[in-house]
Structure 1
Amino acid sequence: MNKCHIAYLACAAALLGTGLGAAPSSAGHTVHLVSPGESIQKAVDSARPGDTVLLAHGTHRGSVDVTTPGLTLRGMGRGTVLVPGAGATTVPTGTAGAERAAGSCAAAGNGICVAGTKDHGVDDVTIASLTVTGFAKTGIHANEADRLTVRNVTAVRNGVWGIATERSARGVFRGNTARDNGDAGLFLANTVKEEEGATDTGGTVVERNRLEGNRIGVTVRRLRNLTVAGNHLTGNCAAVFVVGDENKPKAGLVTVRENRIERNNKSCPKTARLDALQGSGIVLTGTEDNLITHNVIRDNVGTSPLSGGIVVFKSFVGTTSERNRISDNLLEGNSPADLVNTDPGEGNTFQGNSCLSSKPAGLC
């Protein structure tokens, strides 16, 4: 494997002071070093599949469109920071759903965009080891991206989502921190622009992330075949939302396991699509065949219809949740109850959970 790809700090040290550098490797892949003040987009545009664009420590300004498959865009840790460029419009945190007229994804107010199309997917891209903050819409946004990896990224105070994907499959989101974003820290969906049935992600994994202070920690919307595991979610208005609607195929087959979900008691006002939120641990609404197991869910307290430790809720368009299994979770101190089932859907089961309160009674 390319030594520069493995030992990028050493390579960076060799290239610092030379401006925008490129280090060839015996494997034919190249590391393109970008120092603060230089053009990330220029390096990305000149890279070939398999290359690495390495961002040096410091503050970089501007948005980036990635359209080359197999590219790695990597920083040197949290101290590599990407912020909007001079003259860019920013949106204060809390203005969820903000939209701007846009040409490219980056021009729409996003930070890093993996910008595929239906006819040209951008596959096998990795984004790692950097901070992206202050963008009007999304820190990292991917569309039509197969096998996208986002790891060790800090997405902070972006106007809508911290990290988001649409029409993408087989992604890995591991070891990231998403904090104080206007809507979801991590947002994964089929599409937000059209009414369509749920799509199969082919086993996308969201694991070992820290999601704090967002409106929702993780939103899984109109998707199937996905795992959310080993994450720590605290201080959000709601921790995990698995969301479906009346479209076919129905959303579901999501596993939510071994997460620590505590004190998600931030208060968020009602929006056009969703009731006011506070004190929601895991919410299933309009979905089927999900497994919610071995989570620790504590002290999520609120008075919203969606408040509680684990909540099964008929969707706002009237679609029921069916055949969901809620088993072997530890719940305590959640209000109005540890387990809440207000959905008339059939086949939802609650077994082996350690809890003290439920609505209706008898679920514990």
Structure 2
Amino acid sequence: MKKCHIAYLACTAALIGTGLGAAPPVAAHRIHVVHPGESIQKAVDAAQPGDTVLLTYGTYHESVDVSTPGLTLRGVGRGTVLEPEAGASTSTTPSTGSGASKTGKTGKAANSCAAAGNGICVVGTKDHSVDDVTVASLTVTGFAKTGLYATEADGLTVRRVTAVKNGVWGIATEHSVHGVFRDNTARDNGDAGLFLANTVKEEQGATDTEGTVVEHNRLEGNRIGVTVRRLRNLTLAGNHLTGNCAGVFVVGDENKPKAGFVTVRDNRIERNNKSCPKTARLDALQGSGIVLTGAEDSLVTRNVIKDNVGKSPLSGGIVLFKSFVGTTSERNRISDNLLRGNSPDLVNTDTGKGNTFEGNSCRSSKPAGLC
């Protein structure tokens, strides 16, 4: 028996030595390096899940569609710049992404999201989301619609992206969950610097982002710094918002479920006094720090909100406002914020039930008595 056992071990060792008993090798993730003048899209289309497309320093006149899961598209900092190519779309109508290719090679689509006037597009489908894409360390500027747009994305990470002077949104997502937006700069975009929504092309209830996080971003000179539209379960923390017409908008409406369960905490929101005209959906904006309209069960806490002054019905440091279709805000908690120099600091023109103001350091309110 002992000889048999020794023979068995020797045989097993021989099999392992020949690789028959070994685990299959793991494919190495590749880095595809792109230089100015070369095609980013070609490198993206050639990449496999887990690969990195690295853009070197310089300016690229190109839009890019990404549909490969696990892909990282990364520059080397703000000096990696994506601008529109000559003859690109100049329309400023918000894109819904509905024209994006639903194949794996979106760069070959004749009517892709990128061709519609956006810079970088991370595009999945209703049945197959694009998962775990990272976009980092680059600048998107001058696009007619959105600098970076994503739809049907799960686990999208956007970090250290600078989105400047795009026609509609700096960075925008629809139909997406588990997102992380960290250390980005969005400046001088036509609408929101950061825009997160369920959808813009149809009426439907708020969707659960399953814990999307927006933190440590700088949002400056946009119409609205951050818009959270018809979403639930999302956190905005540690952001700096200044020079916009309005800092933060949490927007709901009459659809069910309502927008809500949004946490807005530890942000610095000051001098958002740019003046923006009325639109078909929203009154003129100026001097709004944080606005909740048609939202429920949200928490606004430990923010520093200063010197937001204007003549809009939505002006003020923290504003609860009945939505423009008449839906009230309910059970929102406004607590432990520092407010100074706003006009006024706290505003509640909403008739909804269960909204509370407590522990805030402020000097003026409408109606009186909220401080």
TM-score (norm 2): 0.89
Q: Which amino acid aligns with 1:353?
A: N
Q: 1:134 aligns with which of 142, 149, 159?
A: 142
Q: Which runs of 5+ in 1 are unaligned?
A: 1-24
Map residues 288-299 of structure 1 onto 2, 5 A cutoff.
288-299=296-307
**Deviation digits for residues 320-339 of structure 1, max 9, x if unmatched?**
0000000000001001x100
Deviation at 1:120, TM superposition (A): 1.6
**Deviation digits for residues 220-244 of structure 1, max 9, x if unmatched?**
0000000000000000000000000
CA RMSD of aligned residues (A): 1.6
* Aligned counterparts of 1:204 and 1:66: Cα–Cα separation in 2: 20
1:274 and 2:270 correspond: no
* Aligned counterparts of 1:97 and 1:123: Cα–Cα separation in 2: 24
Map residues 1-364 of structure 1 onto 2, 5 A cutoff.
28-90=28-90, 97=94, 103-335=111-343, 337-364=344-371
* Aligned counterparts of 1:280 and 1:191: Cα–Cα separation in 2: 24
Q: Which runs of 5+ in 2 are unaligned?
A: 1-24, 100-110
**Deviation digits for residues 250-277 of structure 1, max 9, x if unmatched?**
1000000000000000000000000000
TM-score (norm 1): 0.90
* Aligned counterparts of 2:205 and 2:228: Cα–Cα separation in 1: 13
Q: Which amino acid aligns with 2:195?
A: F
Deviation at 1:119, TM superposition (A): 1.4
CA contact (8 A) 2:96 2:201 kept: no
* Aligned counterparts of 1:361 and 1:96: Cα–Cα separation in 2: 41
Corresponding residue pairs, total = 336
**Deviation digits for residues 256-302 of structure 1, max 9, x if unmatched?**
00000000000000000000000000000000000000000000000
Q: Which amino acid aligns with 1:256?
A: V
Please give the secondary structure, in 2, of the residue aligned with 1:219: strand
Percent identical pairs in the alignment equals 82
Deviation at 1:90, TM superposition (A): 3.4
Look at both structures and tell me which one has the larger radius of gyration over its CA atoms: 2
* Aligned counterparts of 1:341 and 1:101: Cα–Cα separation in 2: 38
Segments of 4+ moved more than 4 angstroms: 95-102
Please give the secondary structure, in 1, of the residue aligned with 2:126: coil
Report which stretch shifted further, 319-328 or 112-121: 112-121
Change in Cα spacing, 1:228 to 1:99, as seen in structure 2 (3 Å) is closer
* Aligned counterparts of 1:142 and 1:26: Cα–Cα separation in 2: 30
CA contact (8 A) 1:99 1:137 kept: no
Q: Which amino acid aligns with 1:356?
A: R
Change in Cα spacing, 1:118 to 1:220, as seen in structure 2 (3 Å) is same
